[in-house]
Amino acid sequence: MQQEDTLPWYRQFWPWFLIFLPATAVVAGLYTLWIAVQSQDSLVVDAGKSVMEATEETLLAERRALQLGLSADIGINLETGLIVARLDSAEEFATPSLMLLELSHPAFQDRDIGVPMANSRPDADGTATWSGHFASVPSGRWYVVLKADDWRLNGTWSGEAQLTLRPASEDGI
């Protein structure tokens, strides 16, 4: 003779296990919906430009930096927030009096930082330098862009005191 289970269904393991699996999917879906509603789409460009126009401007600026053979060495004083940039170029070009150093957060657009870099007097060897200052030195990983009127240099920064920015390669354009 076979013994039957006399416990009601709600006191058994398997029904609850089978209910738990889709319930976790529902909770995860609701959490994902909450994240989507709370965060803003950060692919928004200037109101007067389309995404295609903004992309084309970026590509032209990167190609110009590549043609000039530009690179920038940036020193960051992590205690005071002082930023010093030096440009190297394979060709002669008009050095800008003002550049912009942009730090873009990989996930949140509202954390992006723009630091104007003003041209200071030339060093003893004749190399021009630009300087700027962080209000407070950011931490974490950032995408970095140094740009002037018609060129831009790119890189990533994770809190180091030294940083080298280069134009995008031909493969990346």
Which tens digits make up the pLDDT trace of 72-131? 999 999 999 999 999 888 888 777 888 999 999 988 888 899 999 998 766 666 567 899
44 assigned to some structural domain? no
Look up residue 158 and give its two tokens. 């994770």
Show Cβ contacts of residue 49 under 8 Å, excluding neighbours closer than 6 positions: 57
Domain count, the chain: 2
Residue closest to 103 by CA, chosen among 60, 54, 78, 138: 138
Which tens digits make up the pLDDT trace of 43-78? 555 566 677 888 888 889 899 889 888 889 999 999
57 assigned to some structural domain? no
Which tens digits make up the pLDDT trace of 148-162? 888 999 999 998 999
160 assigned to some structural domain? yes
Q: Which residue has the tokens 């692919």?
A: 43
| 150 in Cβ contact with 157 (< 8 Å) | no
Same domain, 134 and 76: yes
120 assigned to some structural domain? yes
Domain of 126 in residue numbering reads as 69-165
Q: What is the CATH number of the domain that holds 115?
A: 2.60.40
Question: Quick check: helix, strand or coil at residue 138?
Answer: coil
pTM: 0.67
100 assigned to some structural domain? yes
Mean pLDDT rounded to a whole number for the chain: 85
Residue closest to 152 by CA, chosen among 88, 75, 52, 58: 58
